[in-house]
Chain A
Amino acid sequence: SYVVTQPPSVSVAPGETARITCGGSQIEDKGVFWYQQKPGQAPVLVMYYDKVRPSGIPERFSGSNSGNTATLTISRVAPGDEADFYCQVYDNFRGVFGGGTKLTVL
């Protein structure tokens, strides 16, 4: 079965740029979805089809996908961005989530 790999944690200082990766075999051939989950809340879709921002998601959030790695980039990170981030793809019409990355704002 398809495996999607994320780093367990990423830490950045306020105002810096955070890059959260999502690895998988030829992941560039799949559409990648990204979700942000804050403590005690349901996840929120922050990116779909690799690089499309849903309405209401700040322009500071951007996405890319090439080769075996998709990346969610958050520019000018703010304390309110601290959360768990999950990437998700479909393989053989079954959803597959990465293990999640905890973004810590130092």
Chain B
Amino acid sequence: EVQLLESGGRVVRPGGSLRLSCTASGFIFDDYGMSWVRQVPGKGLEWVSGINWNANDAGYADSLKGRCTISRDNAKNSVHLQMTSLRVEDTALYYCVRVRTGSYHDGFDIWGQGTMLTVSS
């Protein structure tokens, strides 16, 4: 079964840092780009970041640029999002998603169930 399992979400103080992780199973991981999409509960979707199949191309939303770094470990079928200088407005459910091609700028055909990040003092 194709599956994405996120972890790392928790309560963090403003200004703090966090690393979100996603472990993939059921498909050839390094055939696909991967991305992160977030959603404030009850609100819309926001693209956060994406990385291509071999990690030599990545992109970031303007709202997070300079504050987050996406990476992947193809040997461990995992993708990570390191976030720093966290703000209250970063509070959201963070979805790990598979991109339907090796690029990171294509549609998202597999979604995890999400991991919740709460930034609060």
What is A's interface to B at a CB cutoff of 8 Å?
1, 33, 35, 37, 42-45, 48-49, 54, 86, 88, 90, 93-100
Contacts and interface: CB of A to CB of B under 8 A. Distances in A.
B113 interface: yes
Contact of A43 (B46, B59, B111): B111
Main secondary structure, interface of A, reads strand
A97 B108 contact: no
B87 interface: no
Give the interface size bracket for B toward A: 20 to 34
A54 B108 CA distance: 11
Interface string B41-71: 0001111001000000001111000000000
A42 B114 contact: yes
B45 A45 contact: no
Nearest to A48: B107
B45 A42 contact: no
Contacts of B109: 45, 54
Contacts of B59: 93-95
Main secondary structure, interface of B, reads strand
A95 B100 contact: no
A45 B107 contact: yes
A97 B61 contact: no
B35 interface: yes
The 6 A-B residue pairs with the shortest CB-CB distance, nearest first, are A95-B47, A42-B111, A33-B107, A48-B107, A100-B44, A97-B45
A40 to B, nearest CB: 10
Contacts of B107: 33, 45, 48-49, 88
A100 B45 contact: yes
Contacts of B29: none
Contacts of A93: 59, 105
Contacts of B114: 42
19 contacts: A1-B62, A33-B108, A35-B45, A43-B45, A43-B108, A45-B108, A48-B106, A49-B107, A54-B109, A88-B47, A93-B59, A94-B47, A94-B59, A94-B62, A95-B37, A95-B59, A95-B105, A97-B46, A97-B47
